[in-house]
Structure 1
Amino acid sequence: MSDQSIIFFDIDGTLLDFNKQIPASTKQAIADLRARGHEVAIATGRAPFMFEKIRKELDIDTYVSYNGQYVVLRGEVVYRNPLHADALVALTETAIQNDNPIVYMDADDMRANVPEEHEYITTSISTLQVDKFPTYDPAYYQQREMYQCLLFCLEGAEQQYEANFKDFDFIRWHPMSVDVLPAGGSKAHGIAKITEKLGFPAERQYAFGDGLNDVEMLKQIHHSVAMGNAEPEAKAVARYVTKPVDEDGILHGLRMVGLLD
C-alpha cells in the first residue's frame, strides 16, 4: 500500500473531451496507472446507467456516482444516501406550481414528471450524449429510493428552492438545469467511503475535476488537480491546474503530480 495510490476522475470535461470522447492519451495514461499498481476510480454527478460504456471502456468497477450518493467499490454497492422522501414530495409540488419540470433518478433509471418532451429537458440532457432519455412517470419517486433529481429552471431560479428546501443542495450543471442532492452530500463524502475501506492515507489520494460539483472533492483530496478548462471556482481550490482535457490534460496532470513520467 505504501507505493499504491488511488486516483478519482470526474467524467464530463475531465475524462471526456468536448465531443464526449476519451482522448487516446487519457486511455493510455489510465492503463499505465494500473500497470504501476494504482487504483483508478470515477467520481461523477452522472447516474450509474449514464456511464456504463465508459466504465467498460476503461475497465473501471469502482465509482462514486450521483455526486456521492451511490458508491460502488469493485462492483459492490458500499454506500447509499437517498433524497428525503417527504421533502421530495414538497419540492415536486412547488416545482409543478412554478412550471419547472423534474427528472427523478434512482440507481437503474430516470423518469420525468412531464409527459411531453420539454425544451429544458431535451436541451440539457442531450449535451451528455447518453443512450437513455427519461420517460414519463410522475409517481416514480414515490415507489423507490431516489439519489438525485434534475430540476429544470433557468439560472437564478434555484435561489427560491435553496431558501425553502434545506434538506437539499442545488448545484447547477447546465444553464437550464440543477442537480438536487441530499444536503451535505458531495463527491468528497462518497470518496471517503472508498478510501476508508481501502485504507488509503490522504497523501495517497488524487482527484481530477472541472465543474462546480467538483469543488468539495478538490478541496478535500490532498493531491487535487483542476483541468485547464475547469470553472474558476474549481481552479481556485485545487492544488494543481493542468492543461485542458483536449490538450492531453489528464496525462499532463498525472505527470505534474509525479504518478507518471
Structure 2
Amino acid sequence: MTNQSVIFFDIDGTLLNHEKELPLSTKKAIFKLKEEGHIIAIATGRAPFMFEDLRRELDINTFISYNGQYVVLNGEVLYTNPLNISSLEKLTEAALLNNHPVVFMDHEDMRANVPEHEYIKESIDTLKIGRFPTHDALYYKGRDLYQSLLFCPVGAENQYERDFKDFDFIRWHPVSVDVLPRGGSKAKGIEKIAEKLGIPEENLFAFGDGLNDMEMLLTVKNSVAMGNAEKKVKEAARYVTKSVEDDGIYHGLQMVGLL
C-alpha cells in the first residue's frame, strides 16, 4: 500500500488484553505501520487522562476520546461535543432517588456526585488506571463535560433512556453505562479527522470489540471486530480477526493488507 491510511484502535479488549496489557505483537505492528507512513489513532470511550501512558508508549498524538466527544489531532483539540448540562442535572437528580451514582467527566478529571459507592469501585477497578473519581457533587457546574458515567444494574438504564432524550446510554460494565450526547459516537470523531486530513474512506480502518464500537464498525469501510467481541459487534464489522489474547491486532492488520 502506497497511500497513507489512518487506523483507529479501540483500547479495552482491542489494543489491551483483558489484563490491561499491550501484547508485544500489537506494539510491533503499530510501529511497523508508523514506519510505513500511516497514521495511528486511538478511538476509545476512555477519558484522555485514562490513557496517557499508552499514548506515550506508542507515540500516538491523535485520538478520539469519550466515544467521539473530545477529538485531538496531532496534539491539538479538533472537535468537542459537550453534554447538555441542564439535562444532566435532571438526570443526576433522578439517579440519586434510585441510589444510582453519577460521575462527571471533563478532559482533565472526573468527579462523583457521592463520596463513595460499591458500583463505582467495582467498575473503575476493571480499568486498572490507578485513580478513582473524588467527590464533588457540583462538578458539572460552569464547565464542559463530555461524558458521564451512570452506575446501575443491567436493565435499569431503560428508564433513563425513556426519560432523557438528550443522551445515549451505552453499557460498558455490568454496573455502569456511558452517558453521551444524543447521536455522539466514535464514528463522528473519525469523520472529523478524515475530513480535516482529506483521507478517502478507502484509507480508513477501525478495530474494536465493544458495543460503543458498533457505529464506528458500521461506518468505516475497512472495519475489523476482535474475536473476543460479542456476536452483534462482529456482525457490524466487515472483517473479524482473532481474539486480543491471540495476537488479534497483528492478524487483523494482515487480513486487511496493511501488514
- How would you bin the TM-score normalised by the shorter chain? over 0.9
In structure 2, the partner of 1:234 is 233
Unaligned runs of 5+ in 2: none
1:36 correspondence with 2:36: yes
Equivalent AA in structure 2 for residue 67 of structure 1: N
In structure 1, the partner of 2:90 is 90
Q: Which runs of 4+ in 1 moved over 4 A?
A: none
CA drift at 1:132: 2.0
Give the whole-Å Cα distance in 1 for the aligned partners of 2:65 and 2:230: 20
TM-score (norm 2): 0.99
In structure 1, the partner of 2:155 is 156
| 1:75-125 deviation per Cα after TM superposition (whole angstroms, max 9, x unaligned) | 00010100001101110110111110000000000000111x311000000
Identity %: 66
CA RMSD, Structure 1 to Structure 2 (Å): 0.9
SS in 1 for 2:93: helix
Within 5 A, what are the aligned runs for 1:103-252? 103-115=103-115, 117-252=116-251
Unaligned runs of 5+ in 1: none
SS in 2 for 1:13: coil
Give the whole-Å Cα distance in 1 for the aligned partners of 2:151 and 2:118: 10
Give the whole-Å Cα distance in 2 for the aligned partners of 1:211 and 1:107: 22
Give the whole-Å Cα distance in 1 for the aligned partners of 2:193 and 2:3: 18
Give the whole-Å Cα distance in 1 for the aligned partners of 2:2 and 2:257: 15
Aligned residues: 259
Give the whole-Å Cα distance in 2 for the aligned partners of 1:119 and 1:97: 17
Give the whole-Å Cα distance in 2 for the aligned partners of 1:144 and 1:231: 36
CA drift at 1:2: 6.1
Give the whole-Å Cα distance in 2 for the aligned partners of 1:196 and 1:247: 34
SS in 2 for 1:195: helix
| 1:127-149 deviation per Cα after TM superposition (whole angstroms, max 9, x unaligned) | 00002210000000013111000
CA drift at 1:231: 1.6
SS in 1 for 2:140: helix
| 1:170-196 deviation per Cα after TM superposition (whole angstroms, max 9, x unaligned) | 000000000000000000001111010
Give the whole-Å Cα distance in 2 for the aligned partners of 1:57 and 1:39: 15
Equivalent AA in structure 2 for residue 250 of structure 1: I
| 1:174-222 deviation per Cα after TM superposition (whole angstroms, max 9, x unaligned) | 0000000000000000111101000110100000000000000000000
Give the whole-Å Cα distance in 2 for the aligned partners of 1:131 and 1:110: 13
SS in 2 for 1:141: coil
CA drift at 1:161: 0.2
In structure 1, the partner of 2:257 is 258
TM-score (norm 1): 0.98
